[in-house]
Amino acid sequence: MSALVCAAMMISFDKVSKRFGSNFALRDVSFDCEAGSVHAITGENGAGKSTLMNLLAGLFPVDGGEIRLHGKQLSPKSPADARSLGISTIYQELTLLPNLTIAENLFLGREPVRLGRIDRSGMREQARSMMARLGSGMDIDTYCGNLSVADQHLVEIAKGVSADADIFIFDEPTAALNAPEVEKLGELLASLKAQGKLVFYVSHRLDEIFRFCDRVTVLKDGRHVETRETRALTRDGLVSLMVGRVLSKFFPARPARSEAAPVALSVRDLQVQEGGPAVSFDVERGEIVGLAGLEGQGQRDIIRALSGLEPSASGMVIKSGEAGSAPLAFDVTKTVRSGVGFVPEDRKTEGLYLSLSIDRNITLGMLRRLNVWQLVPRRHDVIAELMRRLNIRSAGARQEVGELSGGNQQKVMIGRWLAAGIDVLLLEEPTRGVDVGAKAEIYELLREFTKGGGAVLTLSSELLELLGLCDRILVVRQNEIVAELDGAQATEEEVMRHALVGRADNGVHVDA
Amino acid sequence: MLWWVAQIMVCMSMLELARKSRRTGLSPIVLALPVALFVLLCLSSDTFRSLENLANVNSQITALMIASLGQGIVAISGGIDLSVGSVMSLTSAILVTADPAWGIPLALAMGVCVGLINGFGVTLFRVHPLVMTLATMTFVQGVALLLHPVPGGVVPGYLRTLAVSQVAGMPAAFFWCTAAILLAWFLLTRSPLGPRIYAVGANPVSAGRNGIAVMRLKVACFVLCSLSAVIAGIFLTARVGAGDATMGAPYSLDTVTAMALGGIQLAGGTGSVLGVVAGVITLGLISNGMNLLGVSPFLRAALTGVLLLMAIGLQRREAIGA
Ligand SMILES: Nc1ncnc2c1ncn2[C@@H]1O[C@H](COP(=O)(O)OP(=O)(O)OP(=O)(O)O)[C@@H](O)[C@H]1O
Ligand SMILES: [Mg+2]
């Protein structure tokens, strides 16, 4: 068996083109990939990375050129066909079904069958060991709809790697994961490589590309820019290949803070759940505050409670803005009406209307202050300006948001609130799936927003992002704020120390 | 009386159904409603309690049960089939006009055809299932009336025996019901098709990316539904003992009502065989009970509507999918 897989299997792309309507998503892309290697695909949002991978996955046919496997033409007709050809794909957007259990999702479409019935016990046993390989002890009988986005991505990865395949595609698998899980994924990639498989690894995260991948292909605007050994590249070299220019500064400068900035959001004794610990903090106008901590320590709950998504929350939240101060109710509609915008981590199911056009999605934000009988304003000028500032890659303002690349969807989501004239922005994972160039643009936009008197509260699984962006960092551990750090001075070690250390003495608080 | 209902509801909710309700759609109210109705009717009517009447209820709801199980499968896969009633009617017309030996095979073939047309219309031509099956409903009803304009005709003797005889003291209807329920239950919970049907109903795009042949599966669901309508039609014709080209008409909407009462969401992805059974029994008890209590047919329809609204209002609706 090993003789077979060791024979350097090769995929080659030969002048591959793909068109959507009149737009070329890919144009004459040619490069080769070797078996037994991890091949990174990177490039800006909308560069065509997912499109290229989806051709392999059988979602749609090649329009021009061809893909060859071992020199023979490869044209999978459907995802099922691709799977039977030995190609396993982990899509950028989640494909888990919310109403199936983890075990059922893992085996969907290839259920183990005995005597015409699903072999449930065998299936659950295998599912458990698949999850264990990823170091996860999740209950495989829970419905996937009840899992956090990070956990869903883990299940998605488990599903992908367990397939009996020769080619594995990972389309931004780590966008929702944090450090320890990324480590595990690294080990998995190494073991796949050792078995002589070919792994495609799509990512914006440079450190992962350099750590996990042997070669890297850069795409830009649907064209092939470079394929190189990662060893022969530097970080800055890779960034300039991707962006086409040298990024001088990634994070915008923090403006000097005057002492007496007015408070935009005053949170007192916020309890997400009854009987849980209470948190209190302020967010001033002109300030970006980050909630840091390990995954699942309660940062998300705090932001969700403020956005009104946790009706069981209690406490006193006062929002002050141009229109005066008022307590916030724990109710989404009222929260939005009083000028607080919320960007959820899972934009696909919680934030965007995928079948509506870009301009409509943005206009939705402006509707918040209208009554039902008022006409919807058609602010083409505002939208065009916003799309230009956000640098949204699209066929035009009328394109459906569902057709945009992942990173561009995120920009539309943020754009909606910027157009809505809100003054407090709650952001979960502000740059998930966003390319380096666009990240810098989003940071710049957020800075501009705060310079205009807005306030931002954000959380991110990328600590470096919080350190670079925020004025202040609140470290959350077990639903409590355990430290407040100055964003300009804080270091990674310092944040992690607060996030991790003192678990023992902290136990006392938790039991109480 | 209300105390009874309250008591039962409390017991049910203690069963911790909420955790599992994500996919089954079984809320305490779905299961409590038929039980409460049963208790209520037992207490208020002596005739209701008689074995004879219970057997009667059983055979009254059998056709609805079989047709609703098919409707349930389509609903879980994210569709709706309004042609169920017309297919039953046409089955009836075929049974009394065709040669006795050919009646059943012809009717089954007709069911497969209607199912295929519905399925391909919905998948290949992307017509909304409501519109698509409304069209076939009208068409098939027309064919049935053309074939057999005046009610009457002779039902083959063996069919009559199959539908109305007693086996081991149980009415034959009981066995028809049980067989249909077991089949549907096996399909949805034991066969590999089960999770796939739920998957397609919740999100066809994701299901497709998991390598499921979405189109084929949807078509299969429509075919199954039409076939179950044919079988419901066979049973009903045999029970009535005569052919009638409009006998199925009320079933198109009654099956949908049963879905609503049984917690099966028409958006797809949520529902269960137990829910269908509960919904059908509820509907059957309402009509049998009001009949016994001498409620006028017009008032009966209005009351059924009110009950339906109440039942749905009490259900916890949880959006699924996306
Ligand atoms: N189904 C579709 N219909 C129309 N246009 C599409 C469709 N899918 C992708 N596109 C377009 O093709 C281009 C490439 O998109 P793709 O998703 O491949 O980008 P990407 O490199 O994966 O970006 P990201 O990093 O944001 O995920 C984009 O301009 C996008 O709008
Ligand atoms: Mg992509």
Q: Under 8 Å CB-to-CB from A160, ≥6 apart: which residues?
A: A88, A89, A90, A168, A169, A170
pLDDT in tens, B184-235: 999 999 999 999 999 999 999 999 999 899 999 999 999 999 999 999 999 9
Find the mean pLDDT for residues A375-389: 75
Q: Please, which pLDDT band fits residue B314 given cuts at 50, 70 and 90? A: low
Say if the Cβ atoms of A99 and B198 lie within 8 Å. yes
Say if the Cβ atoms of A109 and B212 lie within 8 Å. yes
Distance set, CA A190 to CA A151, A187, A193 (Å): 22, 5, 5
Q: Examine residue A444 and state whether it is found in any structural domain, yes or no.
A: no
Of A70-74, A100-104, B1-5, B47-51, minimum mean pLDDT range: B1-5
Regarding whether A292 and A230 lie in a shared domain, the answer is no
Range of the domain at A492: 263-332+462-512
- Residue by residue, DSSP assigns A8-59 as --EEEEEEEEEEETTEEEEEEEEEEEETTEEEEEEESTTSSHHHHHHHHHTS
Q: Closest-CA residue in chain A for B24?
A: A99
Q: How far is the CA of A172 from the centre of ligand 1 (A)?
A: 14
Q: What is the pLDDT of residue A367?
A: 67
Of A163-167, A214-218, B17-21, B27-31, minimum mean pLDDT range: B17-21
Q: Which chain B residues are closer than 8 Å to A145 by Cβ?
A: 22, 320
Q: Which chain B residues are closer than 8 Å to A95 by Cβ?
A: 205-206, 209-210
Q: What is the pLDDT of residue B28?
A: 80
A440, A430 Cβ separation under 8 angstroms: no
* pLDDT over 70 (residue B319): no
Report CA Rg, chain B: 19
A266, A306 Cβ separation under 8 angstroms: no
* pLDDT over 80 (residue B15): no
Regarding whether A56 and A130 lie in a shared domain, the answer is yes
Regarding whether A87 and A13 lie in a shared domain, the answer is yes
Fill in the DSSP letter of residue A400: B
* pLDDT over 70 (residue B288): yes
Question: What average pLDDT does the structure give for chain A?
Answer: 84
Q: Examine residue A326 and state whether it is found in any structural domain, yes or no.
A: yes
What is d(CA A155, CA A145) in angstroms, rounded to the nearest whole number? 12
More confident residue, B304 or B127: B127
Say if the Cβ atoms of A104 and B195 lie within 8 Å. yes
* pLDDT over 50 (residue B19): no
Give the whole-number percent of chain A exceeding pLDDT 90. Answer: 24
Tokens matching residue B175:
């066995």
Tokens matching residue B187:
């399909």
Regarding whether A267 and A118 lie in a shared domain, the answer is no
What is d(CA A437, CA A171) in angstroms, rounded to the nearest whole number? 19
* pLDDT over 70 (residue B113): yes
What is d(CA B23, CA A22) in angstroms, rounded to the nearest whole number? 42
Q: What is the residue type of B258?
A: A
Pairing between strand A215-220 and A198-202?
unpaired
- The ligand minimizing its distance to the Cα of A218 is 1
* pLDDT over 60 (residue A109): yes
Give the whole-number percent of chain A exceeding pLDDT 70. Answer: 92
Q: Under 8 Å CB-to-CB from B183, ≥6 apart: which residues?
A: B69
Q: Please, which pLDDT band fits residue B18 given cuts at 50, 70 and 90? A: very low
Q: Examine residue A289 and state whether it is found in any structural domain, yes or no.
A: yes
Q: Examine residue A199 and state whether it is found in any structural domain, yes or no.
A: yes
Say if the Cβ atoms of B209 and A59 lie within 8 Å. yes
Q: Under 8 Å CB-to-CB from A131, ≥6 apart: which residues?
A: A102, A137, A138, A140, A154, A155, A158
Question: What average pLDDT does the structure give for chain B?
Answer: 86
Q: Examine residue A228 and state whether it is found in any structural domain, yes or no.
A: yes
Regarding whether A277 and A214 lie in a shared domain, the answer is no
Regarding whether A179 and A71 lie in a shared domain, the answer is yes
Q: Examine residue A179 and state whether it is found in any structural domain, yes or no.
A: yes
Regarding whether A276 and A183 lie in a shared domain, the answer is no
More confident residue, A176 or B317: A176
pLDDT in tens, A84-93: 999 999 998 8
Say if the Cβ atoms of A117 and B190 lie within 8 Å. yes
Of A74-83, A245-254, B139-148, minimum mean pLDDT range: A245-254
Q: Under 8 Å CB-to-CB from B63, ≥6 apart: which residues?
A: B88, B232, B233, B235, B236, B239, B251
Q: Which domains does chain B have, with CATH numbers?
A: 58-313 (1.10.3470)
Q: Under 8 Å CB-to-CB from A76, ≥6 apart: which residues?
A: A56, A57, A58, A82, A85, A87
Regarding whether A287 and A210 lie in a shared domain, the answer is no
What is d(CA A169, CA A38) in angstroms, rounded to the nearest whole number? 10
pLDDT in tens, A426-450: 999 888 878 877 788 888 888 888 8
B30, B254 Cβ separation under 8 angstroms: no
What is d(CA B192, CA B198) in angstroms, rounded to the nearest whole number? 11
Most confident of A342-346, B23-27, B38-42: B38-42
Q: Does the CB atom of residue A407 touch ligand 1 within 6 A? A: yes
Regarding whether A283 and A159 lie in a shared domain, the answer is no
* pLDDT over 50 (residue B13): no
Q: What is the pLDDT of residue B321?
A: 33
Q: What is the residue type of A322?
A: E
Q: Please, which pLDDT band fits residue B16 given cuts at 50, 70 and 90? A: very low
* pLDDT over 70 (residue B85): yes
CB atoms within 10 A of CB A507: 11
What is d(CA B20, CA A202) in angstroms, rounded to the nearest whole number? 37
Q: What is the pLDDT of residue B313?
A: 72
Q: If you take atom 22 of ligand 1, which residue's CA is the nearest one?
A: A50
Regarding whether A303 and A209 lie in a shared domain, the answer is no
What is d(CA A512, CA B205) in angstroms, rounded to the nearest whole number? 47
Q: What is the residue type of A332?
A: V
Question: Chain A contact for B196, CB < 8 A?
Answer: yes
What is d(CA A446, CA A366) in angstroms, rounded to the nearest whole number? 18
The domain boundary residue, chosen from A174, A208, A243:
A243
CATH assignment at residue A50 = 3.40.50.300
Instruction: Please report the sign of the dihedral spanned by the C-alpha atoms of residue B268, residue B273, residue B275, residue B280.
Output: positive
Say if the Cβ atoms of A79 and B191 lie within 8 Å. no
Q: How far is the CA of A384 from the centre of ligand 2 (A)?
A: 23
Q: Which contiguous run of DSSP H or E holds residue A461?
A: none
Spell out the SS3 assignment of A181-206: HHHHHHHHHHHHHHCCCEEEEECCCH
Of B22, B186, B203, the CB nearest to A143: B22
What is d(CA B67, CA B70) in angstroms, rounded to the nearest whole number? 5
Q: Examine residue A394 and state whether it is found in any structural domain, yes or no.
A: no
CB atoms within 10 A of CB A388: 9
Question: pTM for this structure?
Answer: 0.79
Q: Which chain B residues are closer than 8 Å to A143 by Cβ?
A: 22-23
A392, A416 Cβ separation under 8 angstroms: no
pLDDT in tens, A59-71: 999 998 899 988 8
Q: If you take atom 16 of ligand 1, which residue's CA is the nearest one?
A: A48
Q: What is the pLDDT of residue A245?
A: 64
Q: Examine residue A95 and state whether it is found in any structural domain, yes or no.
A: yes
Of A225-229, A332-336, B130-134, minimum mean pLDDT range: A332-336
Of A216-230, A278-292, A372-386, minimum mean pLDDT range: A372-386
Q: Which chain B residues are closer than 8 Å to A109 by Cβ?
A: 196, 210-212
What is d(CA B275, CA B70) in angstroms, rounded to the nearest whole number? 13
- Residue by residue, DSSP assigns A72-119 as EEE---SHHHHHHTTEEEE-SS----TTSBHHHHHTTTS--EETTEE-
* Bridge partners (DSSP) listed for residue B54: none
Tokens matching residue A4:
């077979």
Say if the Cβ atoms of A79 and B209 lie within 8 Å. yes
Q: Given phi > 0 = left and psi -120 to 50 = alpha, else beta, which region is B169?
A: left
Q: Under 8 Å CB-to-CB from A361, ≥6 apart: which residues?
A: A352, A353, A401, A412, A413, A416
Regarding whether A321 and A188 lie in a shared domain, the answer is no
What is d(CA A450, CA A283) in angstroms, rounded to the nearest whole number? 11
Q: Which chain A residues are closer than 8 Å to B194 by Cβ?
A: 118
Structurally, chain A folds into a number of domains equal to 2
A79, A53 Cβ separation under 8 angstroms: no
Number of H helices, E strands in chain A: 18, 22
The domain boundary residue, chosen from A243, A274, A301:
A243
Regarding whether A96 and A57 lie in a shared domain, the answer is yes
Q: What is the pLDDT of residue A509?
A: 39
Which atom of ligand 1 lies closest to the CA of A408? 26
Q: Closest-CA residue in chain B for A119?
A: B190
- Residue by residue, DSSP assigns A55-71 as HHHTSS--SEEEEEETT
Q: Does the CB atom of residue A435 touch ligand 1 within 6 A? A: yes
Q: Given phi > 0 = left and psi -120 to 50 = alpha, else beta, which region is A61?
A: beta
Half-sphere exposure of B207 (CA within 13 A, CB side): 28
